[in-house]
Amino acid sequence: MKADGAVDEFEFFLEKAWSDGLPVVTPTEQRIQHMLAATRRDPGELVGNVPPAMEPATVRDVAIHALMAGCKPEYLPVVLGGLALMLREEFNLNGVQGTMHGVAPLMIVNGPYARKIGLHGGNGCFGPGFRANASIGRAIRLMLLNLGGGIPGVGSATIFATPLRYTACVTENGERSPWPSLAVSKGYGSEDDVITCAMVESPRLCFDDVSQEPARLLNGIADSMVAMGSWNMHARSDMVVAMGPQHASICAATGMSHADVHRRLCELAGRKVRDLKNGGNWRRERALGFPINIDPDDDDCFVPAIKDPRDLQLIVAGGWGPCTAICHGWSGGSRAVHGPYSP
């Protein structure tokens, strides 16, 4: 409270149980109307109910959270599109909101509208400094906290969360990628506005400034895709590999396509049973539950990190430099989703 008894708007929202710990742009009716001008949709239209609390998210509610997050009105269609995708049953947002894991719904936005609003896929794209990336991802998180109740210690049993739970929205480095986009690899047109969402952890970085040809390079990247403590090795799980453009160009220079690299990473990334048994989440019963045939009693049996090729989302992003970012996935039956959205 201010000295004259007036409410300090910043303190008011910072004290909310659903606050992400950072100040929000104060929602006023004027700001809400300004945000809603960016869509032709009826503000009362229900986008869906956010689990587990199952509070409704109307177009107006999404606009309010978008403005609180710092979005410009032109970002609203992306937020609306992203939320709708995340509420699909196969994405299993309900499970992720409560899980002990720390995964977040990473939005990968492709198409001309992403470029128009300044979504960033180059230097520093997973970090601070880019309003569209930061605020679109944050708008989603504020809804998951407020409307969904996915609050640590309350609706969520998350042990660490990860920094990706502050914000998780990125696009590809189209200017420097040797290949068509992730959306095109899934069958969309290059001029389609598409969002892909996958439940993943914060990226870990794989440096390789030695390899000049794909075999060794992909070997090293595949190594970052496996770990005893990664649920990717113990369940069917999504994964995002964001190849830096420099690494992608090493592969493309030999004629490898996006599909070729994707296939090779699926083949290379994995560990033998012998290596997995000695730590982490290995259990015989879990291996028997894979959607592929694994003999958990054969020490030489190779357990792939990617159990279904659809689970690996391969993009080209980041600045120029000898690095690729890898994001590991969840364990609880979430399947990545993708679809078009209307700007």
Partner 1 sequence: MCSVHDTIEFEKRGIPATVIITQAFRNAAVFQFKGKGMEGHPYVEMPHPISNLKADEMKALALKYVDQVARQLTV
Partner 2 sequence: MSEEMSGFIDPTAGGGKAKVAPAARPMDLAGKVVGLLDNTKEQGALILQTIGEALRERYGAAKVVLRSKEHYSKPATDALIDEMAQEVQVAIAAVGG
Least distance (Å) between residue 89 CB and partner 2: 8
Exactly one of 216, 274, 283, 284 binds partner 2 (CB under 8 A); that residue is: 283
Interacting partner of 259 out of partner 1, partner 2, none (Cβ under 5 to 8 A depending on kind) = none
Exactly one of 3, 4, 40, 285 binds partner 2 (CB under 8 A); that residue is: 285
Q: Which of residues 98-127 bind partner 2 (CB under 8 A)?
A: 98-99
Phi, psi of 199 (to 5 degrees): -80, 110
Does 149 bind partner 2 (CB under 8 A)? Our answer is yes
DSSP E strands: which ranges in the chain? 46-50, 55-58, 104-110, 169-170, 194-200, 204-207, 239-243, 270-272, 302-304, 312-316, 323-327, 337-340
Of 22 and 54, the one with the shorter C-beta distance to partner 1 is 54
Exactly one of 27, 118, 152, 178 binds partner 2 (CB under 8 A); that residue is: 27
Q: DSSP 3-state assignment of 315?
A: strand
Select the span of 21-29, 130-138, 165-173, 243-251 touching partner 2 (CB under 8 A).
21-29
Does 3 bind partner 2 (CB under 8 A)? Our answer is no
Pairing relation of β-strands 169-170 and 104-110? parallel
Q: Are 135 and 76 in contact (CB under 8 A)?
A: no
Query: Pick from 334, 101, 338, 117: which is nearest to 237 by CA?
Result: 334
Interacting partner of 155 out of partner 2, partner 1, none (Cβ under 5 to 8 A depending on kind) = partner 1
Of 96 and 256, the one with the shorter C-beta distance to partner 1 is 96
Of 228 and 323, the one with the shorter C-beta distance to partner 1 is 228
Q: Which residues contact 12 (CB under 8 A, 6 or more apart)?
A: none
d(CA 194, CA 340): 4
Q: Which two tokens stand for residue 270?
A: 């994995």
Interacting partner of 154 out of partner 2, partner 1, none (Cβ under 5 to 8 A depending on kind) = partner 1
Residues binding partner 1 (CB under 8 A): 52-54, 94-95, 98, 100, 149, 153-157
Interacting partner of 52 out of partner 2, partner 1, none (Cβ under 5 to 8 A depending on kind) = partner 1
Least distance (Å) between residue 100 CB and partner 2: 8
Does 28 bind partner 2 (CB under 8 A)? Our answer is yes
- Residue in this structure with the two tokens 């986008």, named with its chain if needed: 47
* Strands, sheet with 239-243, edge to edge from the N-terminal-most edge strand: 204-207, 323-327, 239-243, 312-316
